[in-house]
Amino acid sequence: MTQHERLLAGQLFNPNGDELRAAKRMAHLLSAQYNLTNEDDKQLRAEITRKILKQCGENVYFQGPIFFNYGIHTTIGNRCFANYNFCVLDDAPVTIGDHFQAGPNVTIATPMHPLVAAERHGMLDENGEVFKPCYAKPTVIGNDVWLAAGVIVCAGVTIGDGAVVGAGSVVTQDIPPNTLAAGVPCRVIRAITQADSLLNSPDILGPNRVI
């Protein structure tokens, strides 16, 4: 297996091999190019986004700056928005559904390293060569998910459709659909119901109407 195949299979891989280094350099370059654009350059930003990502839906917009570690492992659905400093360490596949919203300083991190310090120093591959080991777990974020400011989503997590994750949370376990979750580590607080509709908060709704 190539290092890339090992990465996708969830096995230990060498992140400094030529193939993976080239993929990362391209994503880093494109992310840097995006960050140099003006927020009014919507067409240029859309073109760069499509080059970065494995798959990108319609009406996807990143406020910027952004950072993708590989990009080619990330799929994003339609009508998605991410605020300032959106960081995706997509060593493993990251799948994001439609109508995703991210507040500022949101990080999605799939890579993992050994817990034993000596193993982080280096391991031997099948050829007897020393490498700094890494492995990664896929992350899935469903449709209509809102990650508030400063949320960190850790490796291997699935966040269900319609979930909301409160500011500053560290998500280490799966979050069920249509729930409000928050904390460090993140825990489900309660279900989201029609009682949460702004129809019940006329002082906030003002002259506006729910579609």
Q: What is the pLDDT of residues 94-105, one digit of tens each?
A: 999 999 999 999
Query: Where in the chain are the domains?
Result: 3-153
Can you read off the two tokens belonging to residue 176? 């069920």
Q: Which residues pair with 131 in a beta bridge?
A: 123
For the segment 145-186, what is each residue's pLDDT rounded down to a tens digit?
999 999 999 999 999 999 999 999 999 999 999 999 999 999
Can you read off the two tokens belonging to residue 198? 């702004």
Q: Which residues contact 202 (CB under 8 A, 6 or more apart)?
A: none
Q: How far is the C-alpha of 211 from the C-alpha of 191, rounded, in Å? A: 22
- pLDDT at position 211 over 90: no
Reported pTM? 0.93
Q: Is the N-terminal amide bond of 185 cis, ω within 30° of 0?
A: yes
Q: Domain 3-153's class?
A: mainly beta
Active-site choice (28, 73, 113, 121): 113
- pLDDT at position 193 over 90: yes
The residue assigned the tokens 């370059």 is 29
Q: How far is the C-alpha of 108 from the C-alpha of 58, rounded, in Å? A: 21
Q: Which residues pair with 124 in a beta bridge?
A: 130
- What's the angle, vertex CA 152, arms to CA 194 and CA 24, rounded to 5? 130
Q: Is 4 a catalytic residue?
A: no
The residue assigned the tokens 């000596």 is 118
pLDDT number for residue 17: 84
Answer whether 76's CB lies under 8 Å from 56's CB. Answer: yes
